[in-house]
Structure 1
Amino acid sequence: MKRKVSLKDIAQKVGVSIALVSYVLNNKKEGRINKEVATKIRDTAKALNYRTNQIAKSLKTNRTFTIGLIVSDIANPFSSSLARIIEDEADKNGYTVIFGSSDEDAQKSQKLIDTFINRQVDGLIIAPVDNSIEQIKYLEQEGIPFVLVDRYFPELKTSYVTIDNFKAAHEATTYLLNSFYKKIGLITYQSKLHNLVERKNGYLSALKQHHIEIKKNWIREVCYNNAREGVEKAMSSLLLMKEPVDAILFASNALTTDGLRYINNHNIKIPEELGIVSFDESDALDLFRPALTYIKQPLHEMGQTATKILLENINRNNKISQIKMDGELIIRKSALPVAMHV
């Protein structure tokens, strides 16, 4: 078996100390090391096919340099984009990310947390699911570094990164009202998660501020496990009632995708017959015409900030960081003012 290349081999080849090679390959003291020397060390390490001894590194630092990431569904564009951003930010800091999808199931979430802990990840970034508050409390009690992303539990004092969902939904609904839509429906999930509750509350608040009589049958909640069929029934109910809605706010991009399938199948004209606003964006939604008005979440900032907070916590900075960012309403053609298409 071929002998593994060591730091000593690289140091001898370049003509520098072993300590200097270690500093460069571990991205330490970068501001103090000559850039040409650092480049030469990295090039030599690559040429010699040097590989870090992760076992030795873990024993020395008591770390595995891995992060566990739990998202709702890695196939969803929101989750996959967020995961990639977190992966890139972690990689800049010498960490590898292990992914898992909870599928909005508390038992699966618990299984993933247990698996990641058993694999001795250094910390976790979690988009928590319904009924998982005890899982988060357990992580707190055990002193395991973690950050919640996209969702959080307001009753727990934990680090999180999310957007102001109330404000975003309020702004989207207000835009529809100012565009002369008066009967605005909401399609969301059956969930007690704070982000979805706040989206619903923001929608209701905007209607109330504009003195619109709020009708319970304008709000349709669908089950995660049967969302496609649920959205189809919700769309039928909202559009076939005696006084149908004239616009719909969808609480996620997945719900929007199911809603657009119904719209295409029933040849509903957008925005002439129905105004549409979506939470989140995706490449698939970009293919729909007319272009959709949607609430854009600052994914890069969310992913990078969540990763930075976690790494600080791993480094024994136990400060609680609670970050709420603003969403941005991207106005396009699916919810043009009524006067423009009458």
Structure 2
Amino acid sequence: MMKKVSLQDISQSLNISKGTISLVLNGRGDEKRVSKKTQEKIIKFAQKHNYKANQLARGLSMGKSDMIGLIVPNISDSFYARIARRIERKARLHGYNVVFSSAGESKDRESELIQSMLDRQVDGLIIASSQKNENDIKRLKRNKFPFVLIDRHYPNIKTNYVGVDNIGGISAAVEQLITLGRRRIGFVTLKPGLEAIHERALGYTQTMEKHGLSIEEGFIKELDYENIEVEISNAIKTMVSSPTSIEGIVFATHYLTAAGLRELKKLKIRVPYDVAIISFAQMSAFDLIEPPITSVIQPVDELGDKAVDILLKNLRKEVKDYERFKLKTELVIRKSCGAQ
């Protein structure tokens, strides 16, 4: 087998510095005023010996790695997994590979991952932030490093951002239950912290108030993300028992919906006859179980595509300002809400 020729081999054979050889092989000979004779000499030698540049070394010399970093809270979550697949597919069409990592809603872990990605010379970043990491986001912005925030952002920091219309999505869910005659509607959500969760709560309260429906004590259940399995049991028991007697429940996330459905089944509560159910976001099984679950569908493909499009425009320096998009959701009506 023919020995692979390295940059060092070419340098020793031609008595030309590795830096000059690298510039020529990466098409920057004219830019750096390397003589035509020297350029031809290097190129002919490289072709004769079938020289193939190491991609990482090539990236470092050109200031380009053809890699995009993607940081999400949990890559195993179906929502982020689908976004990651879409981003990877879109990026590959444009010649980029994607490096994935999960930060687990940890500010420190997110900060470490951002630095790790930068150390790996990624060309740009797509981040679903913990929303606790303003310093790193400001640093990326200050250094004019190309990045796009998805799903979550910092309202007071002007950055590229692609998210969904959380308020409109929850509002559509509550409106659907009201249309079907439900008046005592509960809302199961997470404890405040993330912007998306705040917006979904706002969508619920605004729609209830718009229709003159009271939000009684016990109608809203805010659960601890780290203790959902324990807290969901008490929440559902309270909501379906007198004097609360909820007629419908809107769940703020797909995993809250799944946990809530398990508790309703344990209590032998019939969906939708006793309690109607709507989920913000869905899991793949939601259209297969009985009854199928009415869900607010997030435009995952559009979100992933838009994030990559914005990042590519920034990498090509085609934009002077930041871009922000809130994409519309779609309410997919199935039997769980009481619709026939």
- TM-score under structure 2 length normalisation: 0.82
Cα drift, residue 272 of structure 1: 0.3
- Partner residue, 1:90: 91
Structure 1 residues 131 and 191: alpha-carbon distance in aligned structure 2, compared to 1, 3 A threshold: farther
Contact 1:149/1:160 (<8 A) preserved: yes
SS in 2 for 1:74: coil
Contact 1:72/1:101 (<8 A) preserved: yes
2-structure distance, mates of 1:89, 1:112: 22
- Partner residue, 1:146: 147
Identical pairs, percent: 36
1-structure distance, mates of 2:247, 2:133: 37
Contact 2:60/2:121 (<8 A) preserved: no
Cα drift, residue 60 of structure 1: 4.3
2-structure distance, mates of 1:87, 1:52: 24
Contact 1:76/1:254 (<8 A) preserved: no
State the one-letter code of the partner of 1:255.
L
- Partner residue, 1:196: 197
Contact 2:72/2:103 (<8 A) preserved: yes
User: Which runs of no fewer than 5 residues in structure 2 stay unpaired?
Assistant: 7-25, 28-49
State the one-letter code of the partner of 2:191.
Q
- Partner residue, 2:219: 218
2-structure distance, mates of 1:51, 1:253: 48
- Partner residue, 1:319: 321
Instruction: Report the more deviating stretch, 84-93 or 238-247.
Output: 238-247
Deviations 1:24-63 (A, max 9, x none): xxxxxxxxxxxxxxxxxxxxxxxxx997731343134311
1-structure distance, mates of 2:245, 2:336: 18
Cα drift, residue 185 of structure 1: 0.9
Structure 1 residues 176 and 232: alpha-carbon distance in aligned structure 2, compared to 1, 3 A threshold: same
2-structure distance, mates of 1:270, 1:288: 11
Listed as ranges, the matches of 1:70-81 within 5 Å are 70-81=71-82
- Partner residue, 1:35: none
State the one-letter code of the partner of 1:258.
A
Cα drift, residue 73 of structure 1: 1.2
- Partner residue, 2:230: 229
- TM-score under structure 1 length normalisation: 0.81
Contact 2:269/2:275 (<8 A) preserved: yes
SS in 2 for 1:147: strand
2-structure distance, mates of 1:179, 1:51: 66
SS in 1 for 2:255: helix
Deviations 1:164-203 (A, max 9, x none): 1111111111111111111111111113222111111011
Instruction: Report the more deviating stretch, 318-327 or 56-65.
Output: 56-65
State the one-letter code of the partner of 2:282.
E
SS in 2 for 1:334: helix
**Higher Rg of the two aligned structures:** 2
SS in 1 for 2:218: helix
SS in 2 for 1:70: strand
- The number of residues matched between the two structures is 298
1-structure distance, mates of 2:81, 2:124: 19
Cα drift, residue 101 of structure 1: 1.3
Listed as ranges, the matches of 1:58-207 within 5 Å are 58-207=59-208
SS in 2 for 1:188: strand
Structure 1 residues 162 and 52: alpha-carbon distance in aligned structure 2, compared to 1, 3 A threshold: farther
Q: What is the root-mean-square deviation of aligned Cα atoms in Å? A: 2.3
Contact 2:131/2:153 (<8 A) preserved: no
Structure 1 residues 216 and 94: alpha-carbon distance in aligned structure 2, compared to 1, 3 A threshold: farther
- Partner residue, 2:40: none
Poorly superposed stretches of 4+, deviation over 3 Å: 1-6, 49-53
- Partner residue, 2:17: none
- Partner residue, 2:23: none
- Partner residue, 1:335: 337
